[in-house]
Amino acid sequence: MTLQDHQVLQRGADGTARGFPTGGPYETEGARDVLVGDLWVLAGQSNMEGVGDLIDIEMPSPHVRSFQSREEWAMAEEPLHWLGESPRVVHHRLWGAENVPESLPPRDPARSKGAGLGLAFGKAYYAATGVPVGLIPSAHGGTSMDQWDPALKTEGGASLYGATLARVEANGGRVRGILWYQGESDAYPGGVEVYAAKMRRLIEAFRTDFQDPHLPFYLVQLGVFACPSAPDGIAGWNGIRELQRRLAATIPDTAMVSAIDLELDDLIHIGASGLKRLGRRLAAVATGAPTLDLKFVEWDDPTHLRVTFTGARGGLQAPGRPAGFELREASGRPIELLYKTTLEGDTAVLHVMDGHGPIPQEMQLWYGFGLNPYCNITDAQDMAVPAFGPIAIPPYR
């Protein structure tokens, strides 16, 4: 590996790289301004690539660098992804071109979209650890799990997985972890059923190819999608969200953060302010914060259903009226009995109307049902309650 100016070297278990301790900057092997720290891959589709408006963006930091799409190290700044500059042919073929351009295209000075979460992640990670961060942006908008299939790595830069491996190998072959935001392209009937198996294969492949069986893999649960609701679309979106939640709870060395409460800049892409929050959420779990997830559901009495969570740092909170919970029948039909939600520490208390007929025996609980729900509950450290459902509610005894 030939070192570049501004590069970040992945530190080893002893905190050093090429004889240098964590930190810097150093001059070595003809390269200047080299840091020793942690490398993080940014992978997935458009919300990881970053399509937020370039307004009130995260400002650069000398402690966070980016291995640009052109495969040159530089201080990380928005936008991180310039896929038209990539020497990996897959990014051009996905746009309809056959080959890599012979020369780098000029950057559009009027570009208005491209804010992402990576820079905010890197700055928060450094603030918490004092460890410099090198980002390896490798996402591509609109891509499915099939397009990320590790079996295609033999195609090298002609596949997304192969191109990502090549970018890591160009920087020594080791990283601290993977940040993943993908699933929108698989949220359809038929895609949901095989999503979990494909995700497991992808995580296993990254860990095998990076020779780290405990490689951290932190994913983002799907946010909202502002489009007309159709039964198939709702089922697909709900299904992927719940699979992501359950996968993160069952695969070692993984964690999930939610984007369900974040505002959009268009129909499907999170805006710059939300992406900053999301980057900080990922940095929190990457530096040891617990994940916020459902613990159990139980009745206090026939009119109060308690929904308790794990990992709620400082308790639950919401700006204004807590929103996002729904009661539904097994068929999906809404049950209009929930009239208020109050928050008590790590528990949301759902107030259910009394005297309006019998409560259905097969009632189910949801948080964040549908494509574009309004959810606003976080913990005191701004970790959002994840979408979930259906959760069977035991009858009151």
pLDDT tens digits, one per residue of 100-109: 988 888 999 9
pLDDT in the model for residue 27 = 97
pLDDT in the model for residue 160 = 98
Domain boundary among 265, 286, 307: 286
pLDDT greater at residue 288 or residue 233: 288
**What CATH number did the domain enclosing 371 receive?**
2.60.40
pLDDT at 292 over 80: yes
Same domain, 198 and 321: no
Same domain, 104 and 212: yes
**Average pLDDT of span 304-326:** 97
Domain span at residue 325 reads 293-392
pLDDT in the model for residue 274 = 98
Same domain, 330 and 236: no
Does the residue 2 lie in any domain?
no
Task: Say how far apart CA 125 and CA 129 lie, in whole Å.
Answer: 6
Does the residue 120 lie in any domain?
yes
pLDDT in the model for residue 395 = 79
Give Cα 100 to chain centroid, integer Å.
29
Domain boundary among 227, 251, 286: 286
User: How many other C-beta atoms lie within 10 A of the C-beta of residue 36?
Assistant: 25
pLDDT in the model for residue 89 = 97
**Average pLDDT of span 82-108:** 93
pLDDT tens per residue across span 169-201? 999 999 999 999 999 999 998 999 999 999 999
Same domain, 311 and 264: no
pLDDT tens per residue across span 273-287? 999 999 999 999 999
pLDDT in the model for residue 192 = 95
**Average pLDDT of span 3-28:** 98
**Average pLDDT of span 117-137:** 98
Determine whether 91 is exposed, middle or buried from the number of CB atoms within 10 Å of its CB (0-12, 13-18, 19+): buried
User: How many other C-beta atoms lie within 10 A of the C-beta of residue 292?
Assistant: 26
Structural tokens at position 95? 């746009």
Does the residue 224 lie in any domain?
yes
Domain boundary among 233, 260, 286: 286
Does the residue 178 lie in any domain?
yes
pLDDT in the model for residue 359 = 66
Same domain, 297 and 282: no
pLDDT at 130 over 70: yes
Same domain, 243 and 365: no
Residue 305 banded pLDDT, cuts 50, 70, 90? very high
pLDDT in the model for residue 358 = 62
Same domain, 333 and 383: yes
Q: Judge whether 27 and 85 are in contact, CB under 8 Å.
A: no
pLDDT at 229 over 80: no
Same domain, 223 and 191: yes
Angle between helices 272-286 and 118-129 (to 10 degrees): 40
Same domain, 318 and 280: no
pLDDT in the model for residue 394 = 83
* Range 327-340 burial, b when 16+ CB lie within 10 A, else e: bbeeeeeeeebbee
Average pLDDT, rounded, for the chain: 95
Same domain, 299 and 203: no
Task: Give CA separation, 56 vs 53, 76, 116, 275, 352, in Å.
Answer: 9, 16, 12, 11, 42
Task: Give CA separation, 240 vs 194, 201, 204, 223, 387, in Å.
Answer: 10, 16, 19, 11, 10
pLDDT at 76 over 90: yes
Does the residue 193 lie in any domain?
yes
Same domain, 142 and 261: yes
pLDDT in the model for residue 356 = 60
Domain total for the chain? 2
Does the residue 3 lie in any domain?
no
The strand pair at 113-115 and 133-137 is best described as: unpaired
Structural tokens at position 92? 């051009």
Does the residue 362 lie in any domain?
yes
Does the residue 121 lie in any domain?
yes
pLDDT at 355 over 70: no
Same domain, 275 and 336: no
Task: Say how far apart CA 55 and CA 66 lie, in whole Å.
Answer: 20
